[in-house]
Structure 1
Amino acid sequence: MRLLLLRHAKSDWGDPSLADIDRPLNRRGKSAAVEMSRYMKTERLLPNRILCSTSQRTRETLAKLLPYLQQETQILLLSDLYRQSEDDYTDLIRKHGSRAQNLMIIGHNPATEETAFALAGTGNADAMNDLQVKYPTAALSVIDFDISDWSDLKPKTGHLERFVKPRDL
């Protein structure tokens, strides 16, 4: 099974009256979300189930991905992905991942980064090193597991296949 951890694209801080959950993507974020979506389509890294935070910036990141999906994809908007953005997402993956072969999380930092650290036990050396430096907006981790159901997910059992940042594209 494969986990795709996508941090939302760059958000707009221009309106200080907006609550954090309501911040939209800025121009650079919209562009990066489209670039990452194109990359995912080209590389056949498309999910069949997406768990997306309910924040405006994650939903806008998801909206940029939708035109590139080529198969039926179940999408769940989960407020817990926003509320638990200080923790890792492992429990939410176990609870909501079901048997999706390609599960995507569109979430926030530090939880996206912490989840990648918590689950990747092995991996491409360059990707593992890169992951430890920074998890920028619109970055994507691809982690493979030898399990048949996400409820069986355990720490450090994944293989980090790649870590891609928008500036790499």
Structure 2
Amino acid sequence: MTGTLVIVRHAKAEHGHGDDHARRLTGKGRAQAQAAGKLLADAGIVPEQVICSTSARTRETLELALEQMPGRPQVDYEDAAYGADDHGLYELVNRVPQDVGTVMLVGHNPAVAQMASSFLDEEAYGGYVAFPPGSVAVVRMEVDWLYAAPGTGAGRLLTG
């Protein structure tokens, strides 16, 4: 079974002057997170499972996005997603059970941008894609989660 991978960069956060892990969303970030959830709901893309970094800004992004969607997915808060590179994010996706159809990953740049870029048509997006706060990429995987790696699916940016 192949599935859909939704890659989300956390929404706009406060500037850091201390504990980076505790940074919260700004007002603009809260609106971005809600807009991301609405885009997904309007597109009929609802996650069954979520992998989310443990930072305050990713958790808040996730909660605000999920408020816009029907149902409630299984959420796995992963310490390993905070500060992970794209290879570390793939390792988290590789552990998703095969019977899960749609997985949402909520994380941080540069890793989420690198991951999203690896699934986008280079001609359409020009290689490495800008992935500002609140960005969403949707990838139709061509392999089971265990084998998810760069280029094993076809992705697009979801915009309003």
Same topology, TM > 0.5: yes
Q: What is the Cα deviation at residue 106 of structure 1?
A: 0.2
User: In 1, distance between residues paired with 2:51 and 2:24?
Assistant: 19
User: In 1, distance between residues paired with 2:7 and 2:116?
Assistant: 7
The answer to whether 1:163 aligns with 2:157 is yes
SS of aligned partner of 1:52: strand
Alignment deviations for residues 113-166 of structure 1 (CA, whole Å, 9 cap, x no partner): 111233x1x64953x33x73411011011111123x311223312111x213xx
Aligned-partner residue type, residue 154 of structure 1: A
The aligned runs of 1:79-90 (5 Å cut-off) are 79-84=79-84, 86-88=85-87, 89-90=89-90
- What are the ranges of 5 or more consecutive residues in structure 1 without an aligned counterpart? none
CA RMSD of aligned residues (A): 1.9
User: In 1, distance between residues paired with 2:104 and 2:13?
Assistant: 20
Instruction: Report the equivalent of 1:146.
Output: 142
* 2:13 aligns with one of 11, 14, 30: 11
TM-score by length of 2: 0.88
Aligned-partner residue type, residue 163 of structure 1: L
Structure 1 residue runs of 4 or more that deviate by more than 3 Å after TM superposition: 122-126
Counting matched residue pairs gives 156
Alignment deviations for residues 25-75 of structure 1 (CA, whole Å, 9 cap, x no partner): 011100111111111111112111000000000000011022223234111
Instruction: Report the equivalent of 1:2.
Output: 4
Report if the CA contact (8 A) 2:6-2:137 is conserved. Answer: yes
Percent identity among equivalent residues?
27
More helix by share: 1
User: In 2, distance between residues paired with 1:23 and 1:4?
Assistant: 23
